[in-house]
Amino acid sequence: MAAHLVDFHCHLDLYPDHATAVAECERAQIYTLAVTTTPKAWPRNLELSQGKKYVRAGLGLHPQLVSERAHEFGLWESYLKDARYVGEVGLDAGPRFHHSLPQQKDVFTRVLQCCADAGDKVLSVHSVRSADIVLDLIETHLPAPRGKVVLHWFTGSQTAATRAVQLGCLFSVNLEMLRKPTHRTLLSGLPLDSILTETDGPFTNSGSRPSQPADVNAVIEELARLRNLDPLVLRDKVGANFRRLISDT
């Protein structure tokens, strides 16, 4: 039997019916990291993921919201003891959010320091136009034995990708990335051991509707084509990468 699919970055709480979105992951047996954008969303996400086999909740404070919600960092910190997974966190230096970059760096640094102090956290990290700074902060504040980092929708340079691999980071790949020639070049060279899949639903589309976790199957198929692999081989590989990531050792 093929390995279960993995959607390592999906906003299940932003679909019209959160509980149904969680139930659907369980029914379809898709390992899903339900990331959140504000710590206020954490209690409900935790509640809906408790006792579930396939859905895990991530404790987040999205970089695009930091300028309005930096004051929620205390709340984020208070919930961290109940969270093995952290996300969505990171930096966004795109034109709309560049103004809050100093504040974002401050919050992300504190996130990394708290995760390093606690140990054994797994993070889903946003790094729009800021891959080098994100990697600098990870290297300084959350070096490999203190935590595990998955770079979500990574669009940094080849040099930054190589450095991320050396730092032990993984990459969660979505279909949008596979539509861009420059990103395809990057994805064609990533070590297979470092690859996970994601939808970032509902912020990406599959056809004319918002992506759902089951749509990671299209990522597997397209990435397998790019890498000249049998899709089932790639699916098994991603499943093995996921198991290795979440294991305690």
Query: Using CB under 5 A as the criterion, which residues of the chain lie in contact with Mn ion when the complex forms?
Result: 88, 200
Residue closer to Mn ion (CB basis): 65 or 220: 65
Residue closer to Mn ion (CB basis): 48 or 65: 65
Residue nearest to Mn ion (CB): 200
Query: In whole angstroms, what separates CA 140 from the centre of its chain?
Result: 20
Query: In whole angstroms, what separates CA 13 from the centre of its chain?
Result: 15
Residue closer to Mn ion (CB basis): 88 or 92: 88
Query: In whole angstroms, what separates CA 199 from the centre of its chain?
Result: 10
**Alpha carbon distance 98, 218 (integer Å):** 33
Residue closer to Mn ion (CB basis): 3 or 89: 89
Q: Comparing C-alpha atoms, which of 11, 36, 37 is closest to residue 25?
A: 11
Q: Which value, to the nearest 10 degrees, does the dihedral of the CA atoms of residues 36, 25, 207, 195 take?
A: 70
Least separation, in Å, of the C-beta of 1 and Mn ion?
A: 30
Q: Comparing C-alpha atoms, which of 25, 16, 19 is closest to residue 216?
A: 25
Residue closer to Mn ion (CB basis): 58 or 147: 58
Residue closer to Mn ion (CB basis): 100 or 124: 124
CA Rg value for the chain: 17
Least separation, in Å, of the C-beta of 51 and Mn ion?
A: 25
Least separation, in Å, of the C-beta of 88 and Mn ion?
A: 5
Task: Report cis status (omega within 30 of 0) of the bond before 181.
Answer: no
Least separation, in Å, of the C-beta of 32 and Mn ion?
A: 13
Least separation, in Å, of the C-beta of 58 and Mn ion?
A: 10
CA angle (136 as vertex; 131, 179 as ends), nearest 5: 15
For the chain, what is the total number of helices (H) and then of strands (E)?
10, 10
Least separation, in Å, of the C-beta of 180 and Mn ion?
A: 17
